[in-house]
Chain A
Amino acid sequence: MTMIRTRIIPALLLRNESLVKTVRFGKFTYVGDPANTVRIFNELEVDELLFLDITASRENRSPNPKVLADIANECFMPLGYGGGISRLDQAKAVFDIGFEKVAINTHAEANPALISEIAGHYGSQAVIASIDVKKGLFGVQTVRTLSGSNNTRRDPVIWAMEVEKMGAGEILLTSIDREGTWDGFDLELVKRVTDNVSVPVIAHGGAGSLNDIRKAVNEGGATAIALGSMVVFHKKNNGVLINFPSLNSIHEN
């Protein structure tokens, strides 16, 4: 069996020019200044960084080139950005700054051709389809857009299969119900998606321990893990502390 190291990706939430952290997409806590924070992640030699401007689409904002350039100038690791990308030229601007992946969420749902268009120009490896999932009134999970505020009524598994067909190279699968809770990943959701697509799936939402990470990989079939609270807080209900679990502790069982 051939495996490479599971990528552990800090997923950092931008709210325009600040880094924040949320719980179930609400309850914003200020984390810090993006450039200073990424300098620490650079020293910690993290595998990859993903920045999500979580309110860009809802507030109808384009990617902020100044903030992204400040980040790219400090980082010598793979970088992804998502938030407010609705056109190819906006993706191009992000790539030109030095990011190699863009995450598309709201605008992919509204205009699925966007994924194929960006993948056609820059390759599938440059396009992450970001899928936010939330349980509705009767416990049925559906895909949400616009920072979780819009219920598309789409089934997450079917939508994941569609974005793969359109050329997405990876899927960022976020459980809104678990996001920021430290309660563990929604393993059932992760498994249902990984069973039905062949592109890498990045599990996101709920990680609270190294054991949660191992379970998402071993039981959920996730290729990579995105961490939010665990890398910006000391522990649950505690202060901000930028940190990254040691490689050995993750990769040994």
Chain B
Amino acid sequence: MGNLGSMLNMFKRIGVRAVIESDPAVIQQADKLLLPGVGAFDTAMTCINSVAGLREVLNHKALVEYAPILGVCLGMQLLTCASEEGTLPGLGWIPGVTSRFPKLEGLKVPHMGWNVASPNTPNRLTAQLGDESRYYFVHSYCVHVEDSEHSLMRTHYGIDFDSAIGRDNIYGVQFHPEKSHRFGMQILKNFAEL
């Protein structure tokens, strides 16, 4: 679940056709997939696992067809192997884990608000976005990938974490591009043009 309305609004603005779908037969036909998500890790994984055939279609799209896939917020965390928020395994497409922000003096969790994300591995998803680009974040858990080549952007909030990740055709962003003005719009445009 998540705020799908605003995602559709942004795609409409940049002239990209997008539909909300959970039927594996229809998802099978898509050129690209966006995996949204707000809420709890296990709830989302249970949701994916409970639709017959959905997990298989997703794996096929991601690992056999190499269709571009973008996970957003919780959707990005689902790309990792596991999360401290739950007990179920994630999709495991990008090696890494999702952990809770540490308890630090003066650090409010969730990390909510605008923060910068600095590109660190050049790639098409973050093309044309400089160090001063800012994005809207709302999350209590953050991703750390195993292989630094899969880290596309880093953000600092108490600790450094991976705010955009990517491996081949699979991408994830921790922030909400649909709520991040022209910066987020550029990310979604870049994704649409992959």
Residues of chain A at the chain B interface (Cβ within 8 Å): 1-5, 7, 42, 45, 47-48, 72-73, 76-79, 95-100, 122-123, 125, 169, 198, 200, 223-224
Our pick among B3, B112, B156, B178 for the contact of A76 (Cβ within 8 Å) is: B178
Q: Are B181 and A76 in contact (CB under 8 A)?
A: yes
As a 0/1 sequence over residues 100 to 121 of chain B, the CB contacts with chain A under 8 angstroms (1 = contact) are 0000101110111111000000
User: With a CB–CB cut-off of 8 A, which chain A residues contact B184?
Assistant: 76
Known A2-B104, A76-B180; judge A7-B114 contact (CB<8 A). yes
Tell whether, in the assembled complex, residue B5 and residue A72 are in contact, meaning their CB atoms are under 8 Å apart. Answer: yes
**Residues of B contacting A223 in the complex (Cβ-Cβ under 8 angstroms):** 108
**Hey, which chain B residues are within 8 Å of A73, CB to CB?**
9, 12
List which B131-149 residues lie within 8 A (CB) of chain A. 136, 138
Residues on B lying within 8 angstroms of A by beta carbon are 3-6, 8-10, 12-13, 38-39, 104, 106-108, 110-115, 136, 138, 156-158, 176, 178-182, 184-185
B-side interface mostly = mixed
Which B residues are in CB contact (< 8 Å) with A79?
6, 179
Q: Which residues of B contact A76 (CB under 8 A)?
A: 6, 9-10, 13, 178-182, 184-185
CB distance from B188 to the nearest CB of A (A): 10
Distance in angstroms between the alpha carbons of A125 and B138 in the assembled complex: 8
Asked if B113 and A100 make an inter-chain contact with CB atoms under 8 angstroms apart, the answer reads no
Could you say which of A2, A47, A95, A96 contacts B114, with CB atoms under 8 Å apart? Answer: A47
Which of these, A7, A48, A100, A200, contacts B3 with CB under 8 Å?
Answer: A100
The interface residues of chain A lying within 8 Å CB-to-CB of B3 are: 95, 98-100
Residues in B with CB closer than 8 Å to A4 are 111, 113-115, 157
**Given A2-B156, A99-B3, A200-B112, 4 more contacts at CB 8 Å?**
A5-B115, A77-B179, A77-B181, A98-B9
